[in-house]
A and B are shown apart, each in its own frame.
Chain A
């Protein structure tokens, strides 16, 4: 009886946990992908995928905030222990969706297609070391889409930035393959709501057509801009936000495809051809009533699968309690103490990057940054991108992105 009463009491004091829709952000990114060991000039796609991963994680947070959903992160990157097929199957098998939930799956890494592949979409290579050791390291992008659709979320988005060229001699075993499981303004709220809340169904997109590779892009001075497709997708989306352009998914991908095609890649016959993304939209217009959404609330982060992500989210939440404009000014000042305890001391440095994840717009000491946060007038939250810590686990260096209101 006591347990029952306790349960009732807990339900009464934590109603916000029980309600609210979830934005499931699933990212598999081969951020440690090495180059060909036989080619000393090949540094691999790891640095470029890292750019994709960091930019997409900012974008996912921004989308969830803009449409008033709680974000649940499933981030798999870095070592083979995290970035592997077993974890992909587990996350897909264990995924549970309420009817109004949104699932956004994003992959960046190597890919290819079986010689007997029927869909237009490639398979992901879920392996960190160079090359392919076993067919079990492959997983079709289209199967991810089908599996998520079976969970019946409101909207399914599956997006991959990977090659779609043929893997010679590889024929897919159908039975085996199907087993598994980033400045908020009125215009940005409107745009994200239009894309994510006014439609239901699913969409799947891959960075290149069958028999064709995909490419990463760099400036001539070797600065990684990420995957050609991902870079153009994020640039187009952010341009629409910046210039208040009303856009639908099909128009968005038409524009992304136009930009992605400017770069040539190699087809199975060795010819240079434009990189042409492939996408299928299965969407119907179905506006959701989300009037109860209060964008001013700073959401407590939901625990993800990844310890490092949880640590970054916890740190971001602590910093956000200093800057969020809807928290009482005096409370924000008092919250500095908790945030300061995360840092190693006066020498700790913070760098703030812009929406392109590379332009550094502020570099200062941690103390100075916290003071600035406490005075900021239009800030919603801070997204932690990466950090380095000392032997005591205190932050020596922190790279963040800020989400502001216009």
Chain B
């Protein structure tokens, strides 16, 4: 009449994996897959927000909300931060690129400054468009409390002055992804995912495509 409770010993690969990994407090394969899905969703949100911030036709209140909210996805909320080993880091940076006279020029600026700059670009019309779905590398264990990965996203940038197309390119950017263990007084230990620096890995003019 009773429902008996049975412990799984050798019957399920996934459960076994979970068990084996729980012993070393590693992320399970299931958790890694779940974080990959989360990572993709956050990159999608980040890209959508950049599109809105750059677009001159969009509502200022939405832009302000996104500018203040985006840094929460990044290490240190966009401010200087200290890692789990106590090492201090500068505020996360965003690399930007432009092709002039056939040469690619790359520069970096803090994420928060980048967002303000993106809103105030001198073009009369700006369009940033997601080119394709982002790609996420495997997660690598750095130490007991940290995993890292790289997520690559792709975007088109178009800048116009009046009706004249002034600049157009296709950029591939790599963002560092960190999953770190956090100790919380009330919830105990949990894994938290944040983004780090964003680097340009490739820039092409539209005629190169």
**CA gap between A376 and B30 in the complex, in Å:** 22
**CA gap between A333 and B5 in the complex, in Å:** 47
Q: Does A356 reach chain B (CB closer than 8 Å)?
A: yes
**CA gap between A215 and B73 in the complex, in Å:** 43
Q: How large is the interface on B (under 10, 10 to 19, 20 to 34, 35 or more residues)?
A: 35 or more
> Which residue of B7, B42, B62, B190 contacts A333 across the interface (Cβ within 8 Å)?
B62
Are the C-beta atoms of A361 and B19 separated by less than 8 Å? no
Q: Does B164 reach chain A (CB closer than 8 Å)?
A: no
Among the 9-residue stretches A70-78, A293-301, A305-313, A364-372, the one with 4 or more Cβ atoms under 8 Å from chain B is A364-372
Residue of chain A at shortest CB distance from B43: A377
The total of chain A residues at the interface (CB under 8 A) is 57
Shortest beta-carbon distance, A218 to chain B, in Å? 5
> Which residue of A219, A262, A330, A378 contacts B59 across the interface (Cβ within 8 Å)?
A330
Q: Does A79 reach chain B (CB closer than 8 Å)?
A: no
Q: Does A237 reach chain B (CB closer than 8 Å)?
A: no
Q: Does A167 reach chain B (CB closer than 8 Å)?
A: yes
Task: Please indicate which of the listed interface residues B6, B19, B49, B59 has the most CB atoms of chain A within 10 Å of its own CB.
Answer: B6
Are the C-beta atoms of B192 and A404 separated by less than 8 Å? no
Q: Secondary structure of the A side of the interface?
A: mixed
Are the C-beta atoms of A220 and B4 separated by less than 8 Å? no
Are the C-beta atoms of A333 and B61 separated by less than 8 Å? yes
Shortest beta-carbon distance, B43 to chain A, in Å? 10
Task: Please indicate which of the listed interface residues B1, B8, B42, B184 has the most CB atoms of chain A within 10 Å of its own CB.
Answer: B1
Chain A residues, CB < 8 A from B2: 45, 110, 163, 213
Chain B positions 41 through 84: 1 when the CB is less than 8 Å from some CB of chain A, otherwise 0: 11011101100100000010110011001101100000000000
Are the C-beta atoms of A216 and B1 separated by less than 8 Å? no
**CA gap between A110 and B2 in the complex, in Å:** 6
Q: Does B193 reach chain A (CB closer than 8 Å)?
A: yes
Shortest beta-carbon distance, B118 to chain A, in Å? 15
Q: Secondary structure of the B side of the interface?
A: helix
Within 8 A of B (CB), among A209-226: 213-223, 225
**CA gap between A221 and B7 in the complex, in Å:** 9
Shortest beta-carbon distance, A175 to chain B, in Å? 23
Please give 13 more A-B residue pairs, beta carbons under 8 A apart, in addition to A213-B1, A360-B31, A397-B186.
Answer: A43-B5, A218-B5, A219-B7, A219-B8, A221-B22, A333-B65, A360-B191, A361-B31, A371-B69, A372-B69, A375-B48, A375-B49, A375-B69
Among the 9-residue stretches B32-40, B101-109, B135-143, B147-155, the one with 4 or more Cβ atoms under 8 Å from chain A is B32-40
Q: Does B9 reach chain A (CB closer than 8 Å)?
A: yes
**CA gap between A190 and B48 in the complex, in Å:** 28
**CA gap between A109 and B28 in the complex, in Å:** 30
Within 8 A of B (CB), among A353-398: 354, 356, 359-364, 368, 371-372, 374-379, 397
